[in-house]
Structure formats: C-alpha cells, structure tokens
Amino acid sequence: MSEAKPMDYILYEVRDRVAVITLNRPNQRNAQNKQLLMELDHAWDMAAEDKNVRVIVLKANGPHFSAGHDIARDETYEAKVAEVLGDVHSTGLYDLHAWEGKYYLGYCRKWRDVPKPSIAAVQGACIAAGLMLAWPCDLIVAAENAKFSDPVVRMGIGGVEYHGHTWEFGARKAKELLFTAKSITAAEAEKLGMVNRVVPLDQLEESAMALANEIAQMHPFALAMAKRAVNQTLDIQGQYAAQQAVFDVHQLGHGSALAQTGEAVLMWLDGLKPANKAS
Ligand code: ZN
C-alpha cells in the first residue's frame, strides 16, 4: 500500500469511508505543476489501495477549481521547459510526447479507471487542464459559479491532452466550445450532461460529501463493476482509441507551434507572439 508522504499542494484525509483529496495551491488558482500532479497521483493511489475507502471526492481550496497547467514564467521556467521539451533540435517532440503522455494523458486515464466511484466538486474556473482533473471523476457536482472551458485553440492547439470533449459535451457543442474558446456555466454543463448537479457555492462540499456517503452504502464490488460497465462501454465505443489518437493530434499542434515560433505553444490572438513552451 502507498505510504503517506508529506505533500505541499494536496491535502488528503479519509472521512469515514470517503477519501477526500483537496487541491491546495489556491494562490495560483490550483494551477498544475509536476509536483502537484505527482502528489495528486499519490493521493489517488492511497485512496485506491485503502480498503476502507469506498468513494473518492476531489475538491479544491480557494475560489477556483483549477486554472489548468502551470505555465507561469517564474524563475524556474527555463528549467521546467527544458525538462518537458528536451532538445527539440535533436530529438523533436520525443521528450514532450513522453512527458505529456505520462503526466497528462497517462494520469487522467489511470484516475478514470480507479475501481471506486469518484466525485469532483468544482467551483469557479475550471479551465483547460482543469477539465483533466474533473473529467476522469465519475460524477461532477458543480457550484453555481463554476465555469468550464478549453481555450487551448487560442494557443494553436486543438484542445487539451485528454480528449473528453466529444463525450462530455456532444460532438456539435464540443466543436463550438473548441472553436470559440468560450466557457460554459455550470447550468449549461448540467444541461449537456457534463455535470450531475449544480448547487449553491456554500453547499458544494456538503453536497458532494452527502452524495459520496450515499454511494458508500452500496456494495463496493458492485460499484466497481457498475463503473467498469460504463467505462468499458465507452471504450468499446472507441473512447480509449480516440483519446490516444487525439493525444497525437495535440502533439501535432505543439509541433506546428514549434515550427512557427520556436516555442511549443503560441498565442494566435496575440499576433503569433511566442507564449509559453509547455501547455
Ligand atoms: Zn500539451
């Protein structure tokens, strides 16, 4: 079983039979850097392996669920870029493809298939890779102020690394949201079937926990099999294969941006100025 390790950006606790994982980098709007993702993965492992845990709740401290990947140009920026991109002049997209395949697509797929029900409790902004934390959860409870968007087309790329859009929004709405980079409200997300229920902000945690406690009464193996039934059906419909394929389409966007600007993403609406190297 995974030993609990000290964590800076994630809080982990078990309340009765519910594991509560909390994103705890509120001053950066829970932007995801490598450390946060590794800590989050560790928390998922602990919840998955703990026989006392029946249901997992993923929530976030602060006004926003997650602003996506951390692309801040701070003092560690060059080192972060070097780690992710490697030497593109000699190895092309080799390092980026492997890095994003592990920490982005790989983690999402792993969390999505943890054989216990999971619930994301989302408030405020859930942008781009923020979706990649909420979508792998089985259920989503949203606060009335939650907003969801994938504006990555603005960066010259056809969407985030984990393609949930077509299933979460439906094909036509997925295209509209990608093409316009606009966000949708919690109420719209509920109407599209992306969100299970919308609650007032001050009742978000309580609602998610009540739902988790209700589900935790059910037979754990039956829950695992119910989850597997739905996830396997999605995969037989092609979700797994599509996500692998679209991940490579995403890399094509990075490659195109690199060819145009020397950086792995660009800001199309900002006159093709180089932006950040890792999205
Ligand atoms: Zn990427």
119 CA distance to ligand 1 middle (Å): 25
Q: From CA 22, how far away is CA 154, in angstroms rounded?
A: 29
CA distances from 206 to 59, 211, 223 (A): 11, 9, 22
pLDDT tens column, 41-78? 999 999 999 999 999 999 999 999 999 998 888 888 88
**pLDDT at residue 104 tops 50:** yes
- Tokens matching residue 189: 């997300």
16 CA distance to ligand 1 middle (Å): 38
Rounded to 10 degrees, the C-alpha dihedral 260/266/270/272 comes to 0
Number of domain units in the chain: 1
Residue 224's domain comprises 10-261
250 CA distance to ligand 1 middle (Å): 6
Question: What CATH number is attached to the domain comprising 74?
Answer: 3.90.226.10
Report yes or no on 152 lying in a domain.
Answer: yes
Summarize the confidence of residues 100-117 as an average pLDDT: 98
pLDDT of amino acid 272: 45
Report yes or no on 107 lying in a domain.
Answer: yes
Report yes or no on 42 lying in a domain.
Answer: yes
Report yes or no on 2 lying in a domain.
Answer: no
Q: For residue 277, what pLDDT band results from cuts at 50, 70 and 90?
A: very low
- Identify the H or E element spanning 173: helix 171-180
Residue 197 has phi, psi (to 5 degrees) of -155, 150
User: Tokens 């029946």 identify what position?
Assistant: 54
pLDDT tens column, 225-272? 999 999 999 999 999 999 999 999 999 999 999 999 888 888 776 544
**pLDDT at residue 274 tops 60:** no
Report yes or no on 274 lying in a domain.
Answer: no
64 CA distance to ligand 1 middle (Å): 22
Report yes or no on 224 lying in a domain.
Answer: yes
Report yes or no on 268 lying in a domain.
Answer: no
60 CA distance to ligand 1 middle (Å): 23
How many angstroms from the chain centroid is the CA of residue 109? 10
Q: From CA 198, how far away is CA 203, in angstroms rounded?
A: 10
Summarize the confidence of residues 198-207 as an average pLDDT: 98
Residue in 196, 154, 199, 162 with CA at minimum distance from that of residue 178: 154
Report yes or no on 266 lying in a domain.
Answer: no
279 CA distance to ligand 1 middle (Å): 5
User: Tokens 């054989």 identify what position?
Assistant: 115
